[in-house]
Amino acid sequence: MDESSVSTEFKNIGSEIVKRCNGLPLAAKTLGSLMRNKKKIHEWQAVLKSKTWELKEIQQDVFRPLLLSYHDLSPATKRCLLYCVTFPKDYVYNRNCLIELWMSQDYLNVKESKEKIVVGQNYFDDLVMRSFFQDIEDVQFEYGNIKCKIHDIVHDFLQYLTENECLILDFELDASKRRDVSKDKVYHLTLVHATEGDSLQTCLPNYKKLRTLIAIQSSEYSIGPIFELIVQLKCLRTLDLRGWRGKGCLKEIPETIGELIHLRYLDLSENLGLEELPSALGSLYNLQTLRLVRCVNLKKVDVRRLINLRHLYVEGYWELKLIEGIEKLTDLQRLDQFVVPIIGGDEGNKLEHLKDLNQLQGSLAIRILGNPNMAENAAGIMVNKAHLLELRLEFYSVDEGKHGEIMNGLEPHLDLESLYIWFYKGGAFSYWLSYLHSLRMLILETCTECGVLPPLGKLASL
């Protein structure tokens, strides 16, 4: 068959497939994403003649092209996609966070944690390419990370496929409007506007097989009284208790949390009343991800016994002056912020604690509040971090004569792609800046004492 004949046949089959979309833009977009990698006539014919078009139990016409694209995914990618309906419609997904959630459920079938991140990124990119995700945007101050949403119809479609394994209970809705499902089949439960009243305390014990529990938009009520119910969920792998505020805010975590031995993902972010974490947190030896973003009154975190911790997020507050034992977590892959406090004794983070954390990836902000001792054991602490893409250096309350010495000791790996420098008051920028040939972004802000810019012409990728 000559080239023109082949082109005509593709066009004719394509026209018939377009008719199947019934004028629905989402259907056309989904099918276009499905067909883009199908290069052979028989692959196009298989889509056109698929029995999926004839299914009568499908709830909406647009579900049929979505189902065709869904069936074209690998089994592992299907599991990852279906997990997304654990969150409500219009939820903004963070790619790195989503991959860590998939890891917590053992959906990424490789042994090494580093490889899991790569596999998770591949799954995510595949779902973006197939238009299951939309409204893709970069995440500010997280170089290389992106956020996205899922179309409401896609969300309905995925909920249709999960067969009630994922359930969202909105306690602002009348009980008659909530989905009535078999509680034994629910593995992932999301509570929206949850209360400490009888409704929640009565329903939660019935979901004995939960692997995920998420409570969101619950700022008016206290979760404290129901924590004793949470620790009864012995199969729990993911626990998300973000943002409990108001009069009943989450002020403490009971020691009984140590009983959740299968927990791999714990998010306590934005709990403004939380001042201390229980010692039993160290018993969660399977924990992979710990998120404590904007817990503004938390002053210390002890990670010495969390031997499997790979992702630690503490950005957004300055009071956390000590992450005890972080220097022992040599397999840690993500750390978003590290505060070096004013020297005043042995209590506090030190720059040398970062020296052996050479598996760090993504972005790291180092906030220096005093005059760290740049002794021999603090030299070269960043130069071996080949996987770190972005580094932010912020200088506060540092003696002006110390700025240059500190920056010289923070030389990054040559593969760094993004560098932010704030409030640097040295007379000149460090020599190593001209060596960063992979640098694509450079931001210098309030560097008032530097009269000369670094040699930008040597930065070929800028």
Q: What is the pLDDT of residues 196-220, one digit of tens each?
A: 554 567 677 788 899 999 987 665 5
Q: Name which of 213, 212, 187 is nearest 200 in CA terms.
A: 213
Burial bucket for residue 214 (CB in 10 Å: 0-12, 13-18, 19+):
buried
pLDDT band with cut points at 50, 70 and 90 for residue 267: very high
Q: Tally the C-alpha atoms within 13 A of residue 128's C-alpha that lie toward its C-beta.
A: 16
Query: What is d(CA 48, CA 16) in angstroms, rounded to the nearest whole number?
Result: 7
Q: Does the pLDDT value for residue 154 go beyond 80? A: yes
pLDDT value for 235:
92
Structure tokens at 398: 């540092």
Q: Does the pLDDT value for residue 51 go beyond 90? A: no
Burial bucket for residue 436 (CB in 10 Å: 0-12, 13-18, 19+):
buried
Query: What is d(CA 13, CA 71) in angstroms, rounded to the nearest whole number?
Result: 20
- Contact by Cβ (8 Å): 354, 332: no
Query: What is the pTM for the complete model shown?
Result: 0.87
Query: What is d(CA 322, CA 328) in angstroms, rounded to the nearest whole number?
Result: 14
pLDDT value for 379:
64
Q: Whole domain around residue 429: which residue ranges?
A: 336-462
Of 448 and 64, the structure prediction assigns the larger pLDDT to 448
Query: What is d(CA 138, CA 338) in angstroms, rounded to the nearest whole number?
Result: 23
- Measured between its terminal Cα atoms, the distance across the chain in Å is 49
- Contact by Cβ (8 Å): 449, 429: no
Long-range contacts of 106-113 (CB under 8 A, 24+ apart): 106/237, 107/76, 107/79, 107/80, 107/83, 108/76, 108/80, 109/76, 113/288, 113/310, 113/331, 113/333
Helix (H) or strand (E) holding 322: strand 322-324
Side chain identity at residue 130, one-letter code: R
Q: Name which of 409, 418, 285, 404 is nearest 362 in CA terms.
A: 418
Q: Give the mean model confidence (pLDDT) for residues 5-13.
A: 70
pLDDT value for 312:
97
Count the helices and strands in the chain (H runs, E runs).
11, 18
Q: Is residue 456 part of a domain?
A: yes
* Boundary of a domain, candidates 41, 59, 77: 59
- Bridge partner list, 188: 166, 212
Query: What is d(CA 126, CA 319) in angstroms, rounded to the nearest whole number?
Result: 40
Q: Name which of 341, 347, 391, 337 is nearest 368 in CA terms.
A: 341
Q: How many domains does the chain have?
A: 2
Q: Is residue 430 part of a domain?
A: yes
Quickly tell me which residue has 């250096």 as its tokens. Answer: 393
pLDDT value for 53:
58
pLDDT band with cut points at 50, 70 and 90 for residue 245: low
Angle, alpha carbons 442-447-423 (nearest 5°): 95
Query: What is d(CA 224, CA 244) in angstroms, rounded to the nearest whole number?
Result: 10
Per-range mean pLDDT, top range of 202-211, 257-266, 294-303, 335-344: 257-266
Instruction: Give whole-number Cα distances, 12 to 17, 18, 29, 323, in Å.
Output: 9, 10, 18, 63
Q: Is residue 55 part of a domain?
A: yes
* Boundary of a domain, candidates 59, 87, 103: 59
Spatial neighbors of 127 by CB under 8 A, at least 6 apart, are: 73, 77, 80, 81, 133
Instruction: Give whole-number Cα distances, 346 to 40, 147, 360, in Å.
Output: 67, 39, 25
Q: Is residue 372 part of a domain?
A: yes
Q: Does the pLDDT value for residue 452 go beyond 90? A: no
pLDDT value for 2:
44
Long-range contacts of 301-305 (CB under 8 A, 24+ apart): 301/277, 302/277, 303/329, 304/328
* Boundary of a domain, candidates 43, 59, 75: 59
pLDDT band with cut points at 50, 70 and 90 for residue 44: confident
Q: 57 in helix, strand or coil?
A: coil
pLDDT value for 12:
74
Instruction: Give whole-number Cα distances, 345 to 144, 322, 342, 368, in Å.
Output: 37, 12, 9, 16
Q: Is residue 417 part of a domain?
A: yes
What are the helix (H) ranges across 41-135? 41-48, 63-71, 75-83, 95-104, 113-129
Q: Tally the C-alpha atoms within 13 A of residue 60's C-alpha that lie toward its C-beta.
A: 17
- Contact by Cβ (8 Å): 123, 256: no
pLDDT value for 215:
83
Q: Is residue 421 part of a domain?
A: yes
Q: Is residue 215 part of a domain?
A: no
Query: What is d(CA 191, CA 193) in angstroms, rounded to the nearest whole number?
Result: 7
Q: Give the mean model confidence (pLDDT) for residues 363-371.
A: 90
Q: Is residue 14 part of a domain?
A: yes
Query: What is d(CA 26, CA 63) in angstroms, rounded to the nearest whole number?
Result: 10
Q: Give the mean model confidence (pLDDT) for residues 260-281.
A: 92
Query: What is d(CA 238, CA 260) in angstroms, rounded to the nearest whole number?
Result: 10
